[in-house]
Amino acid sequence: MTPITGSIVALATPMHTDGSVDYPTLRKLIDWHIAEGTDCIGVVGTTGESPTVNVEEHCEIIRVSVEQAAKHTERHVPIMAGCGANSTAEAIELAKFAKKVGAHCQLQVVPYYNKPTQEGQYLHFKAIAEAVDLPVILYNVPGRSVADMAHDTVLRLAQVPGIVGMKEATGNIERAQWLIRDVPKGFAVYSGDDPTAVALMLCGGQGNISVTANVAPRLMHELCVAAMAGDVKRAMDIQFKLMPVHKHLFVEANPIPVKWAMTRMGLCGPTLRLPMTELTPSNEPVVEGALRAAGLI
């Protein structure tokens, strides 16, 4: 796999007012991200409302995204397909489809709700890597999945052929430093936490899988370029500008605030699928203020 580096948007999934997936707007978002410098587009992850799309929709979002990105022959931007599930069989099914339609790699989250042991996690990801020849990016987000992937489990999985990286979304920089120090050469560690992404990249991380990039793709690309080049001043100048956005896009559960922000910017509509609901009106000025502070509206 050609290594992915830089700004990887965790793309929100646009929806019509009736709750159906808005594929024309999805195509426009992909065009916009490619024009704005996003380095890789991650689809159907947490921000993409993966828990509330069915398997058919999940596959179609991946297919449309790959197809639309491929139209941009002037600049190749890979698709990172979210294929995570708390059923190993379903995760494999999604990964096989992503491979078939040409996704660059797959993002596989620690199985949520059923709380597998460390051995269960190891066998889950190993089974996926062995079943589908599509590079695997592990995704550890214990705040969502409850189950946490231990350091030693990551190191075991890093030895499995086809497992090539990890999205580290705990926000714990000390933990990330140990990972970057201990994983084998060629195994990428990505931030999955916008507020701490600069620090992780300055420690040797390969990029940021970002919620903020949904509304600030150009700035996030520039931030990642600076951080990975060791340009602390430039990276922190951008980070300071984006800090209110990082913070207030989580004033309610993701992706509620980012969907509202994207609507405010004219990028898509505000619809989410239950049990996710639209942003509480009292929080609208909070998110709008963050967008204004960053010069995004």
Q: Which domains does the chain have, with CATH numbers?
A: 6-247 (3.20.20.70)
Evaluate whether 294 touches 216 at the Cβ level (below 8 Å): yes
> How confident is the model at residue 261, as a pLDDT?
99
Q: Would you place residue 207 in the very low, low, confident or very high pLDDT band (cuts 50, 70, 90)?
A: very high
Those residues whose C-beta lies under 8 Å from the C-beta of residue 196, and which sit 6 or more positions away, are 171, 173, 176
Those residues whose C-beta lies under 8 Å from the C-beta of residue 208, and which sit 6 or more positions away, are 6, 7, 8, 190, 191, 192, 194, 197, 200, 201, 220, 223, 224
Q: Which residues are catalytic?
A: 139, 167
Evaluate whether 238 touches 20 at the Cβ level (below 8 Å): no
> How confident is the model at residue 3, as a pLDDT?
83
pLDDT at 7 over 80: yes
pLDDT at 55 over 90: yes
Give the whole-number percent of the chain exceeding pLDDT 70: 100
Give mean pLDDT, residues 79-94. 98
Residues 139-188: tens digit of each pLDDT: 999 999 999 999 999 999 999 999 999 999 999 999 999 999 999 999 99
Give mean pLDDT, residues 263-277. 98
Those residues whose C-beta lies under 8 Å from the C-beta of residue 11, and which sit 6 or more positions away, are 29, 30, 33, 41, 42, 43, 45, 47, 48, 65, 214
b or e along 2-19 (b: 16 or more beta carbons within 10 Å of the residue's beta carbon)? eebbbbbbbbbbbbeeee
Residues 213-259: tens digit of each pLDDT: 999 999 999 999 999 999 999 999 999 999 999 999 999 999 999 99
Question: Strand pairing partners for 138?
Answer: 108, 166
